Amino acid sequence: MIKKKKVPDTHPKWREKPARYPSHLLGHEGEGSALSLLKKQGLATELCAGLAVDEAGVSILAIEVHLTDEAMKNPEAVRLVGETIFSSVELLKREGIPDWVHTEVQTIDEMNFRFRSLTDPMNAVLSLYL
C-alpha cells in the first residue's frame, strides 16, 4: 500500500527553493547515488528528479528513470529499480539533507547564473509581452 503524506506548501519559501535539495540528491550521479547503483546493476542509464508542478500550493516531485533494454524485459528488474528509488527517498526522510548539499547547490546555481546564455533582446521582450 502506498502511503500518502501531505507535503507543506513550498510557495512561501520560494526564495529558499526547498524542493531543490531532494531533487539534487535524488538526481545525483556520483558514487553511492541511486543512479550509480542502478548503472552497476545494468538496470538504468539515466535518472532525473525535479519538480514537475510547483504552483497554487501544489508541488509534485517527479523522478524519471531510463531503463536499459534488458531491464525493460524483466519485471523483477523493474521492481528492483522502484525499490532502489523508494529506498533513496526513505534515506532522505530519515537522514535529512547533508550540509554539503547546500554549498554544492549554491555553487551550481551561481555558476549557472554567471555563465548563462544571454537571451536575444527581441525574444525577451516578446516572451514578457505574450
Q: State residue 7's pLDDT score.
A: 59
Neighbours of 112 (CB within 10 A): 9
Q: Which domain range does residue 7 map to?
A: 1-99
In a domain, 40, yes or no: yes
Closest CA to 81 of 28, 128, 27, 38: 38
Predicted confidence at residue 6, as pLDDT, reads 57
Q: What is the pLDDT of residue 2?
A: 52
pLDDT tens digit sequence for 44-98: 999 999 888 877 777 788 899 999 999 999 999 999 999 999 999 999 889 988 8
**Tens of pLDDT, residues 29-44:** 888 899 999 999 999 9
**pTM of the full structure:** 0.71
How many domains is the chain built from? 1
CATH number at residue 53: 3.30.830.10
Does residue 24 lie in a domain region?
yes
For the ranges 6-20, 72-86, 88-102, 108-122, which has the lowest average pLDDT?
6-20
Buried b (16+ CB within 10 A) or exposed e, 36-47: ebbbeeebbeeb
Task: With respect to residue 67, please indicate whether it lies within any of the assigned structural domains.
Answer: yes
